[in-house]
Amino acid sequence: MTVRLRFAPSPTGYVHIGSLRTALYNYLFAKHKNGSYILRIEDTDRTRYVEGAIENLISALSWSGINHDEGIFVEDGKLVQKGNYGPYIQSERLHIYKKYIDNLVEKGYAYYCFCSKERLDEVREQQKNEGKTPMYDRHCLNLSKEEIEKKIAAKEEYVIRLKVPKDKDITFNDAVRGKITINTSEVDDQVLIKSDGFPTYHFAVVVDDHLMKITHVVRGEEWLTSTPKQIILYNYFGWEAPEFVHLPTVLNKDKKKLSKRQGDVAVSDFKNKGYLQEALVNYLALVGWSPKENKELFTMEELMNEFSFDRVSKTGGVFDVDKLNWINNHYIKQASPERIAKLAIPTLVESGLITNDDIKNRFEWIVQIVDAVKERLNYVNEIAEHVKIFFGNEVQLENQEVYDMLKLDHVKNLLEVFIEELENVEDIDEEFAGSIFKVLKKKTGVKGKNLFMPVRGAVTGQLHGPDMGKILIALGKENTIDRVKYAIENHI
């Protein structure tokens, strides 16, 4: 059997971080089993449809490195469909759903319902008052064929409902939660076809998954209670149901469902802040899944090799931004300075630190200042605060501690010797940057923090910070000399 999994989101706007994890788990399992991963668009709820959402969705998935084998793609700015089981957009499959709903109605497994919204609201309210679970009361179940035809001819609005069998246990196996049994007394006569002619999720997903030969349905645990309705449909059609996998919810630190009210939840939020895709994917994989070994850093290939549903937790996974920052910092450190510089440029321009002319004429310098500070970044957009030390030649001291360090008796001579060494070279290169403190120690006899801190304080206004060698290379000879002279004249 060829394993086939699908990610089937609705085009409702941004891609939630929980949706990305669902896509990731589908993708990892498919690849682990050398199977196929499909992208299908479930757009039957036309009230929630957002123009351009499909393109944004595909862009977010592509950026994340979660690339599907068949389904919907964007080529030359247009949506195209590839694969043998299309269409892959539900709104283009209405003729298919009609064939299967007609089959259910003919066999008595589904029925027309003409109840108004007002009547349904009244029934539900009465059931609540009686302490019952609100469910459809089957008012229209036994309408005759003639009555149905007469109402349709009169253009009365209707839906088509599933006829749920009475008092029957529906049992299925969930790859995460094990054996689950739900009695049909708890299952409502679900609407299958809405009044606008579009199928509901519960009907379309069964037809689509069967026709597309989906072997594993992987989705959020909020869909767990709807699974019996779908299994009833599989039974009515005489189809074999796929294996179900219901994933734990992604939670915030307060153990509540992660929502936009608590801050960033869209994939684009993290991308725009300067989180690297490999860091976000690596971290998301761990939110609800635990590897066999006590390991936290994974490439996508390593995740494919190790991933399995038997190590997915039954309880919600907490999305911890601090942990994400730690992982992202690791990947930023590993990335090339050029890559981080390109990601940082919009922030540096917006903050007024560099101009478009700098990008064109001084890109190498931008790379140098980024290289000096990138190991200190949790995400790229933090960079503006870290690189301010590279701008201007009049250094402001960060605090009294720096001022006190520069006031020590030996500092003036130390800095004057430093200036002499600077003036003896054409420019600061790696050789100079790597040896200058040894030279100063030899010539002045000063060592340890009494050597390093005054030089750093004079050059940057701080006693702690990025690698001094990288700072000196990025500042260059003339700017460094100007800064040290300024410190001697104004702070010593």
141: nearest Cα among 121, 106, 114, 104? 114
Alpha-carbon distances of 473 from 237, 310, 323, 427, 450, rounded to whole Å: 72, 52, 32, 8, 22
**Cβ atoms 97, 199 nearer than 8 A:** yes
Structure tokens, 96: 């298919």
DSSP for 28-47, please give it.
HHHHHTT-EEEE-B----GG
Fill in the DSSP letter of residue 461: S
**Is-catalytic flag, 447?**
no
Whole-angstrom distance, CA of residue 104 vs CA of residue 112: 11
226, two tokens: 């709807």
Q: Tell me how far apart the alpha carbons of residues 230 and 209 are, in angstroms, rounded to a whole number.
A: 11
- If one counts every other C-beta atom within 10 angstroms of the C-beta of residue 450, the result is 14
Sign of CA dihedral 185, 186, 192, 196: positive
For residues 410 and 38, what is the distance between their CA atoms, to the nearest angstrom?
A: 69
Q: How far apart are the first and last CA of the chain?
A: 78
Strand partners, 23: none
Give long-range contacts, CB 8 A cutoff, 24+ apart: 19-23: 20/60, 20/61, 20/64, 20/66, 20/267, 20/280, 20/284, 21/247, 21/250, 21/284, 21/285, 21/287, 21/288, 22/218, 22/219, 22/220, 22/247, 23/61, 23/64, 23/66
Residue of 256, 260, 295, 438 with catalytic role: 260
Q: CA 253 → CA 21, 32, 177, 393, distances in Å?
A: 17, 31, 24, 44
Taking the C-alpha atoms of residue 158 and residue 139, their distance in angstroms, rounded to an integer, is 13
Inter-CA distances, 84 with 5, 7, 95, 207, 216, Å? 15, 17, 17, 16, 18
CA distance 138 to 39: 36
Place of tokens 């979660």: 66
- How far is the C-alpha of 331 from the C-alpha of 338, rounded, in Å? 14
Nearest-angstrom CA–CA distance, 148 and 235? 26
Q: Annotated catalytic sites, by residue?
A: 260
